[in-house]
């Protein structure tokens, strides 16, 4: 299909206008999968620095970031980016054991603790483990323990947590997604009171009585539905994965009709991904992870497998009714964007309401944001940099490191006293490695290594130089 026809097709799907700029990609350091705000202007993640905490990035219309201490595990971000939820750093001063899991809500620079559900015990050290935050910033859903695993929803206005009960009234539950206004929650529940088999479940609050009702989501061919990783902001659509069906039909979309969510399969791609290592490898699963505001766009992971155990290929996909299922990498190219390695944008995890920004991440590929609406290259921005001072001694290994976001790929050049450093032995007998990487490592040290160090980072968006880190050398041998 000609590119102009493809753009017109995507415009009909509400993904991009025919006059839109080419899609752009913002690369982030490695870390846990990020969460986009429903409005698409902010992204939150676990911090990329060794000091920990969370980080909130502004990605539109300008680029910036805020470090948020007090939590090392992100739960979610509100639609306007002003409220975050995360697991609190619990030191035991709040009346609970120091190893108890406690969810918290951050706004205005202050963390507040999620109130446990009534009668929650400390078995399994779980007071409140959060999994999602509503787009309005008011509600947090998650898992607590009160004799059994029990899903809950916390209301920041009332300060109360409400249990999300099993459809039969007895059994284990967990809530891990919530609609924008907090009136619909998704998760799973045991198929019966005693079983370990968990089925995808949705809870909805009656607007008149305030009572929550639960519904098991339908499965196909008696396969098990594991959970509901996401619910659309308007509460009309849920997504999940059915295990046990034939290859390529595992992804499911449940849409509300006459008050009941009814499922249909996400189709397999019509063509194999352009990055598939071997055309003989077969599609193993379609696993949706996120859905946009009205349920019209779904993203997730495609997995292909070959004959042998290590024959595995995974990449992100995007689905709409108009375009069907295709890899995100092929989708970007079809919109006139750059050719992208599938590994660089694997692990799609989050999508904005309008379906244009998409974010994800993997252990090997780092985190990323794709902005389908396009824009010019993003200049590199340093979000974690070397300490202003550092000390080398004869025994300890030490390095200087930097983390950056922007439109990659990035090139790095470390400097000492303003002069470029090269890998290998120095004239004075020391040895360094990583001179053109994010981390400079001193393998052997000498007095002459002292001085100011910085790094110049360059990309298609421009260049930036880190503030200097003044290194001193201590030649004394530390006492054991």
Out of 212-226, 258-272, 349-363, 401-415, least confident range:
212-226
Closest CA to 408 of 432, 431, 385, 378: 378
pLDDT recorded at residue 216: 85
Q: Judge whether residue 356 has pLDDT over 90.
A: yes
Q: pTM for this one?
A: 0.86
Q: What is the pLDDT of residues 372-397, one digit of tens each?
A: 988 888 999 998 888 898 888 766 66
Q: H or E segment at 328?
A: helix 328-334
Reading the block at residue 338, the tokens are: 């750059």
Question: Mean pLDDT across the chain, nearest whole number?
Answer: 85
Q: How confident is the model at residue 239 (pLDDT cuts 50, 70, 90)?
A: very high
Is residue 123 within 8 Å of residue 145, measured between CB atoms?
yes
Section 43-56 average pLDDT? 79
Relative to beta strand 469-474, strand 389-393 is parallel
pLDDT recorded at residue 13: 46
From CA 245, how far away is CA 225, in angstroms rounded?
10
From CA 203, how far away is CA 183, in angstroms rounded?
8
How close are the terminal C-alpha atoms of the chain, in Å?
A: 70
- C-alpha distances (whole Å) from 181 to each of 79, 224, 234 are 11, 29, 8
Section 332-351 average pLDDT? 90
Closest CA to 190 of 179, 200, 202: 200
Contacts of 119 (CB under 8 A, 6+ apart): 146, 147
From CA 466, how far away is CA 65, in angstroms rounded?
16
From CA 298, how far away is CA 202, in angstroms rounded?
18
pLDDT recorded at residue 4: 39
Identify which has the larger pLDDT, 402 or 392. 402
């Amino acid at each position: 299909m000609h590119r102009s026809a493809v753009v017109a097709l995507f415009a009909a799907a509400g993904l991009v206008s025919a006059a839109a700029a080419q899609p752009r990609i913002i690369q982030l350091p490695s870390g846990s999968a990020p969460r986009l705000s429903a409005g698409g202007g902010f992204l939150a993640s676990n911090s990329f620095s060794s000091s920990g905490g969370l980080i909130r990035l502004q990605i539109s219309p300008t680029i910036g970031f805020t470090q948020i201490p007090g939590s090392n595990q992100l739960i979610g971000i509100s639609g306007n980016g002003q409220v975050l939820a995360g697991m609190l750093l619990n030191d035991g001063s709040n009346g609970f054991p120091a190893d108890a899991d406690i969810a918290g809500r951050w706004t205005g620079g202050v963390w507040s603790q999620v109130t446990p559900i009534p009668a929650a015990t400390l078995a399994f050290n779980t007071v409140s483990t959060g999994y999602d935050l509503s787009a309005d910033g008011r509600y947090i859903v998650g898992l607590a323990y009160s004799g059994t695993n029990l899903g809950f929803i916390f209301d920041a206005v009332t300060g109360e947590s409400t249990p999300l009960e099993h459809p039969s009234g007895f059994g284990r539950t967990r809530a891990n997604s919530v609609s924008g206004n907090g009136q619909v929650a998704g998760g799973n529940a045991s198929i019966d009171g005693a079983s370990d088999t968990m089925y995808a479940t949705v809870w909805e609050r009656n607007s008149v009585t305030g009572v929550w009702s639960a519904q098991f989501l339908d499965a196909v061919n008696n396969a098990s539905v594991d959970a509901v990783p996401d619910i659309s902001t308007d509460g009309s659509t849920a997504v999940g994965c059915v295990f046990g069906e034939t290859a390529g039909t595992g992804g499911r979309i449940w849409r509300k009709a006459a008050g009941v969510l009814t499922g249909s399969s996400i189709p397999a791609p019509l063509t194999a991904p352009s990055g598939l290592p071997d055309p003989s490898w077969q599609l193993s699963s379609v696993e949706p992870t996120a859905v946009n505001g009205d349920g019209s766009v779904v993203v997730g992971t495609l997995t292909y497998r070959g004959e042998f155990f290590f024959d595995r290929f995974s990449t992100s996909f995007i689905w709409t009714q108009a375009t069907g299922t295709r890899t995100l990498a092929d989708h970007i190219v079809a919109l006139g964007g750059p050719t992208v390695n599938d590994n660089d944008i694997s692990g799609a995890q989050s999508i904005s309401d309008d379906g244009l920004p998409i974010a994800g991440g993997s252990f090997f590929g780092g985190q990323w944001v794709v902005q389908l609406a396009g824009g010019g290259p993003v200049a590199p921005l340093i979000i974690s940099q070397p300490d202003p001072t550092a000390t080398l001694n004869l025994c300890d290994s030490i390095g200087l490191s930097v983390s950056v976001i922007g439109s990659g790929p990035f090139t790095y050049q470390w400097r000492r006293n303003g002069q470029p450093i090269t890998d290998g032995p120095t004239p004075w007998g020391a040895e360094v490695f990583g001179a053109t990487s994010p981390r400079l490592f001193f393998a052997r040290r000498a007095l002459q290594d002292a001085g100011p160090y910085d790094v110049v980072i360059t990309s298609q968006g421009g260049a930036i130089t880190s503030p200097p880190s003044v290194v001193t050398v201590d030649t004394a041998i530390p006492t054991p």
